[in-house]
Amino acid sequence: MRNEIQISIPYPGDVISVNHYRGRRRDGGEYVKAEAQAWMDALGWMIKQHHIEDWRLPLDVNCDGVFRDLNNCPDLSNLSKCTLDAIEEVIGINDRNMRWHDGTPTIDKARPPELTITIQEAA
C-alpha cells in the first residue's frame, strides 16, 4: 500500500503561478514575492507534519482545484513550480524526485477558491 496525504489550502490567485510568483531585483536577480512565499510556507508546513521525507521516492503530486468561474480558473500546470518548490524548501526532497499531475478543476460559485494537493509514493 502506498503512503498518501491530501492537503486543502486556499487558492490565493495567480500570485502562485509560474508566471507571477517571482519578481526581479534591480541587479537582475530574482526573489519570491511575499504573498507567494507566505503561501509556500503555509503549504510546506501543512505537509511537514506528515513526514513524507521518509517515503519511498519518487512522489506523485496531484493538484485539483475549486474556482469561482472559468475566468479565475488557472492552468493547473502553471501552479506546479511554486507548489513543488514549497515542498522542497520545507521537506528537503529535491523536486526532481516529484512527478506533477494536473487534477480536475471544478467551477463552484458557492465555494471559496481552494486547491487540494494529493501526494503519494509513486507506484
Predicted pLDDT of residue 123? 80
Q: Give the integer Cα–Cα distance in Å for 86 and 92.
A: 10
pTM: 0.92
Amino acid at 1: M
* Domains detected in the chain: 4-121 (3.30.1330.70)
Identify the three-state secondary structure at position 34: helix
Q: If you search the block for the grid coordinates 463552484, which residue do you land on?
A: 108
pLDDT tens digits for range 74-90:
999 999 999 999 999 99
